[in-house]
Structure 1
Amino acid sequence: CDEGYCCSKYGWCGKTSDYCSDGCQLEFGICNEINSTGNEKDIDDITDRCGEEYGKCADGLCCSKFGWCGTTSDHCGIGCQSQFGNC
């Protein structure tokens, strides 16, 4: 998907919960995350990028192999970029 869009479990790109929640494919776009209050972040608020072009994530966040900061296994697992965040 284009930057800033989610890839649904069916392979379609968009920004609503139909695309960004259950079954969202992080390897092809971004997906909703849960913030510290337990609420979903608005997809437009998820802009924390990392990597060669963007630099490091904020403290405590991992940099995924696709250049997004976060704390899920998709961010911190296989392919995590330790030079730009925790892994």
Structure 2
Amino acid sequence: SKLWLLRRSTASDATALRAEDYARAALQTLVDQGAVSFVEVTGTALPAERRIDLKILLKDRDGAVVFDRRFGVLWEQLRGLDRPLAV
């Protein structure tokens, strides 16, 4: 994904929208391969914590949720924390 491109960006609404777009584009492969039929990505800027959270929701062809999780994106990961994506 292109999320790494946001590493030096500020945690703002505009950056959250770009993070959503990058994550959605990366997950489109799952739709293209038929692994899921629906991808929803919601980005939330948390400027006080200097991060952006992404909520990822994936559904199968029957509409059943196959994945639903929130991630604290990349900034902490690039700083080498043990569990950067745990929220």
TM, length-normalised to structure 1 = 0.25
| Length-normalised TM-score, structure 2 | 0.25
Relative contact order higher in (CA < 8 Å, ≥ 6 apart): 2
User: By percentage of residues, which structure has more strand?
Assistant: 2
Q: Say which structure is richer in helix.
A: 2
